[in-house]
Amino acid sequence: MNAQPNTVNDLDAYWMPFTANRQFKGKPRMLARASGMYYETPDGRKILDGVAGLWCVNAGHGRREITEAVARQLETMDYAPPFQMGHPGAFELANAVVRVAPRGMQHVFFTNSGSESVDTALKIALAYHRAKGDAARVRLIGRERGYHGVGFGGISVGGMVANRKVWPAAMIPGVDHLPHTHDLKRNAFSRGLPAHGAELADELERLVTLHDASTIAAVIVEPIAGSTGVILPPQGYLQRLRQICDKHGVLLIFDEVITGFGRTGAPFAAQEFDVLPDMITCAKGLTNGAIPMGAVLVTKKIYDAFMQGPPGAIELFHGYTYSAHPVACAAGLATLALYEREQLLTRARQSAPVFEQAVHSLRGLPHVIDVRNYGLVAGIELDPIVGSPGKRAFDVYLKCFERGLLIRTTGDIIALSPALIIEPKHIDELVTILSQALKE
């Protein structure tokens, strides 16, 4: 217990997630404090946060209202068992989420992360059909280049090769994938939703023909895919998916772990794109990233299908020790109140034109082969170095960090997703640093 604050004597014990451990530990990048739009390193360097932590700190860092709510809750009641017991915060938060959710989303199941939300939604989809007497509907359809977290369900429906190839035998059976919608040939340098590719949704008809509708339970997609490098839905694509799902009695799940809570300019992408799924998975912005928490939002149709058995029977054999954790609920309630007070869930609509202009000014810089954007999310795709995929973007990531900017990269794509409180001066600073790093 003799380590000094902010002094790390031994980096060995901590096995870092999704990180090149040996490379990192040879030259660590540490963050020690955060406030508003900025992080600060242990030696006091300010770092502009271009990615809201990891797509989650939507109201900016260090919001006092959330901190105080968490502290208060810890003092009042630190923990309450969620099975066969309740506490007011859980019900209040579910109601508060329903108030900002798309009309028709009326019930909320709490989890602790996006991955758990996804696996929960997939389980609900299978159990829903079973409850309706349609137990043969067991297939799940995901999409290439989709990311749905790291549970076995999530990696099975996900389409990120690196996340799947090590565990081929552990994939859940009966999963198929739609093609992704990334099309640089036709859509490079699109502003907003790309014009081409709605017809890719028709691939779902092909899968229905192949497997037969009577075996398919659900389709899961991210309205905007974030983790595989900001892949936007072509105009009309999501509407078409919805129509095909309706035609064949297949549930549609939107994974809104990154698009939820204001990223697109509406509280959820389902509202922004005017397509109502049967379930929405979310996490991250639900508590402003301050306390881990996720949720699955479902329509009345889904919930009601479970509420049919004999009274006293548990309707869904699923849940977590920390489902609706009182401290997470307090953080969530304070976060949603903050979003409402500052009108943050629609603020991206106002900032988007300035953000769009700024990110598209990067067009023409060395190796930039695409810039794409929607709301407060942008992707900048770089030409890969032959034989070293991902290296070019990672070099830019390192240069940005040296110059005081945190970005995120996946392969050779840079993703930007700043907090919704971002102002024009931050957008200027972000793009200035990024363009310097790109020019190097």
Ligand X SMILES: Cc1ncc(COP(=O)(O)O)c(C=O)c1O
Cα→Cα distances 179→15, 150, 166, Å: 34, 20, 21
How far is residue 202 CA from its own chain's centroid? 25
Cα dihedral value 383, 16, 142, 241, nearest 10? -70
For ligand X, the closer of residues 145 and 360 by Cβ is: 145
How far is residue 115 CA from its own chain's centroid? 10
Structure tokens at 24: 């990192």
Nearest to 368 by CA among 379, 378, 383, 358: 383
- Name the strand (E) or helix (H) holding 21: helix 21-26
For ligand X, the closer of residues 49 and 429 by Cβ is: 49
The CB-of-287 to ligand X minimum distance in angstroms stands at 11
The CB-of-341 to ligand X minimum distance in angstroms stands at 26
For ligand X, the closer of residues 131 and 221 by Cβ is: 221
Residues 6 or more apart whose CB falls under 8 angstroms from that of 258 comprise 55, 222, 224, 226, 227, 284, 377, 417
Q: Are 140 and 174 in contact (CB under 8 A)?
A: yes
Burial class (CB in 10 A: 0-12, 13-18, 19+), 246: exposed
The CB-of-227 to ligand X minimum distance in angstroms stands at 5
- Name the strand (E) or helix (H) holding 27: none
The CB-of-54 to ligand X minimum distance in angstroms stands at 7
Residue whose CB is nearest to ligand X in the complex, by number: 114
| Cα 437 from Cα 440, distance rounded (Å) | 5
Exposed e or buried b per residue across 255-289, where buried means at least 16 C-beta atoms within 10 angstroms of its C-beta: bbbbbbbbbbbbbbbbbbbebbbbbbbbbbbbbbb
The CB-of-155 to ligand X minimum distance in angstroms stands at 11
The CB-of-257 to ligand X minimum distance in angstroms stands at 3
Count the helices and strands in the chain (H runs, E runs).
16, 15
For ligand X, the closer of residues 73 and 120 by Cβ is: 120
For ligand X, the closer of residues 257 and 406 by Cβ is: 257
The CB-of-386 to ligand X minimum distance in angstroms stands at 29
For ligand X, the closer of residues 53 and 89 by Cβ is: 53
For ligand X, the closer of residues 114 and 194 by Cβ is: 114
Nearest to 225 by CA among 140, 298, 160, 152: 160
| SS3 state at 68 | helix
For ligand X, the closer of residues 251 and 283 by Cβ is: 283
Residues 6 or more apart whose CB falls under 8 angstroms from that of 165 comprise none
The CB-of-81 to ligand X minimum distance in angstroms stands at 23
| Cα 281 from Cα 148, distance rounded (Å) | 9
For ligand X, the closer of residues 324 and 431 by Cβ is: 324
Query: Residues in the site for ligand X, rule: CB under 6 A?
Result: 113-115, 118, 147-149, 222, 226-227, 255, 257-258, 283
The CB-of-102 to ligand X minimum distance in angstroms stands at 17
